[in-house]
Amino acid sequence: MSIEKIVEQALQDGYLTPAMEAEVGRICDTASELSIEEYMALDRLMGALLTGEVVAVPRKQFINVMEELVLTEAIARVAEIEASTDTTLDLGDVAAYALNRLPPLYATTEEGASYQREKAKGELSDLISAQVKEAISRNMDRPDFYPGRQSLRKKPTGDDVLGQVSSLLQDYAHKFEPAHQSS
């Protein structure tokens, strides 16, 4: 999406979402030079933000305390393994695997986060450790048959996830021939 379209959308909705803000940042970071139209759109957006015509939505209005606890545990375990072996683990993969198997613990205030932290330390610390251990085991046992694998993210061409999935289907669909059933 272009800067101009993002600004139009923000002005229409009255909100600048974190995703819109990130896209504007990505465009500005990757462009060697912005056009006059892009500068004018950014100027319009700044003016709208300053006058309150457009409100920037905060990045996070809540936190998942479980993410913090899992990352703390995963960092400690991964560091131990990497210090004693020549193995390199993907911390993001380890944390995601464990988080997908643990309950979320959301909070909107620091008091709520403290409560969730204490509750988790008392009731869930063994489960967190077990899931991180399992995640590390899975990560270490994963074969390296796709060394060029890429995470789902926007390509420099601006394709979205749907575009990437469509591209994958086009690449591999020719290998799939449904079995014709005879009547």
Q: Which residue has the tokens 């993969």?
A: 93
Q: How confident is the model at residue 88 (pLDDT cuts 50, 70, 90)?
A: confident
Q: What is the mean pLDDT of residues 157-161?
A: 54
Return the pLDDT at 165.
Answer: 66
pTM, two decimals, is 0.53
Summarised one tens digit per residue, pLDDT across range 43-70 is 999 999 999 899 888 776 788 999 989 9
Pair type for strands 15-16 and 55-56: parallel
Q: How confident is the model at residue 122 (pLDDT cuts 50, 70, 90)?
A: very high
> Cα separation of 71 and 147, whole Å?
25
Tokens of 28: 């500005």
Domain ranges (residues) in the chain: 3-56, 63-141
